Chains A and B, each alone.
Chain A
Amino acid sequence: MNAPVQIDAATDAYSTPLDQIDVSNPRLYQEDCYFPYFERLRREDPVHYRKGGMYGDFWSVTKFKDIMHVETHPEIYSSEAKLGGISITDRPMEFRRSSFISMDPPRHDDQRRVVSPIVAPANLNNMSSIIRERTARVLDGLPRNETFDWVQDVSIELTTLMLATLFDFPVADRAKLTWWSDRATEDVNAGGIVNSEEKRLEILTEAVQVFTGMWHERAAKPPSYDLISMLAHGEATKNLVNDPAEFLGNLTLLIVGGNDTTRNSMSGGLAALCKNPSEYDKLRANPGLIPSMVPEIIRWVSPIIHMRRTAKADAEIGGKQIKAGDKVVMWYVSGNRDEESIDRPNEFIIDRARPRHHLSFGFGVHRCVGNRLAEMQLNILWEEIMKRFPRIELMEEPKRLYSNFIHGITEMKVRIPA
Chain B
Amino acid sequence: MPRITYIEYNGTEHTVDVPVGKSVMQGAIENNIPGIDADCGGECACATCHVYVDEAWLGLVGLPTPGSQEASMLSFAAVTQPDSRLSCQINVTQAMDGLIVRMPEGQH
Alpha-carbon separation in the docked complex, A121 to B75 (Å): 15
Chain B, interface size: which category? 20 to 34
Q: Contacts A121-B104, A121-B108, A356-B39; is A363 near B46 (CB within 8 Å)?
A: yes
- Number of A-B residue pairs with CB-CB distance less than 8 Å in the complex they form: 60
The reply to whether the CB of A325 lies closer than 8 angstroms to some CB of chain B is no
The reply to whether the CB of B13 lies closer than 8 angstroms to some CB of chain A is no
Task: With CB as the reference atom, state the residue of chain B lying closest to A64.
Answer: B41
By secondary structure, the B interface counts as loop
Give 1 or 0 for each of B32-74: 1 = CB within 8 Å of chain A CB. 0000010111011111100000000000000000000100110
Task: With CB as the reference atom, state the residue of chain A lying closest to B78.
Answer: A120
Q: Contacts A68-B40, A365-B73; is A121 near B45 (CB within 8 Å)?
A: no
Alpha-carbon separation in the docked complex, A238 to B78 (Å): 21
A121 touches B43 (CB 8 A): no
Q: Contacts A121-B104, A121-B108, A122-B105; is A116 near B76 (CB within 8 Å)?
A: yes
The reply to whether the CB of A112 lies closer than 8 angstroms to some CB of chain B is yes
Which A residues between 100 and 121 are near B, CB-CB below 8 angstroms? 105, 109, 112-113, 116-117, 119-121
Q: Chain A residues near B79 (CB, 8 Å)?
A: 120-122
Q: Chain B residues near A122 (CB, 8 Å)?
A: 79, 105
B40 touches A363 (CB 8 A): yes
Alpha-carbon separation in the docked complex, A337 to B104 (Å): 32
Q: Chain B residues near A357 (CB, 8 Å)?
A: 39-41
The reply to whether the CB of B98 lies closer than 8 angstroms to some CB of chain A is no
A117 touches B78 (CB 8 A): yes
Picked from B44, B106, B107, the residue with its CB within 8 Å of the CB of A72 is B44
Picked from B41, B46, B76, the residue with its CB within 8 Å of the CB of A109 is B76
Q: Contacts A120-B79, A122-B105; is A109 near B45 (CB within 8 Å)?
A: no
Picked from A119, A121, A363, the residue with its CB within 8 Å of the CB of B105 is A121
Picked from A72, A113, A120, A371, the residue with its CB within 8 Å of the CB of B69 is A72
Q: Chain A residues near B45 (CB, 8 Å)?
A: 68, 71-72, 363-364, 367
Q: Chain A residues near B106 (CB, 8 Å)?
A: 120-121, 124, 372
> Which of A71, A117, A120 is packed against the most chain B CB atoms within 10 Å?
A120
Q: Chain B residues near A363 (CB, 8 Å)?
A: 39-40, 43, 45-46
Q: Chain A residues near B41 (CB, 8 Å)?
A: 354, 357
Q: Could you pull out 23 A-B pairs where Cβ atoms are within 8 angstroms?
A: A68-B40, A68-B43, A71-B45, A72-B43, A72-B45, A109-B72, A116-B76, A119-B78, A120-B79, A120-B106, A121-B78, A121-B106, A121-B108, A354-B41, A356-B48, A357-B41, A364-B45, A364-B73, A365-B73, A367-B47, A367-B76, A372-B107, A372-B108
Give chain A's interface residues, CB within 8 Å of chain B: 68, 71-72, 105, 109, 112-113, 116-117, 119-122, 124, 354, 356-357, 361, 363-365, 367, 369, 371-372
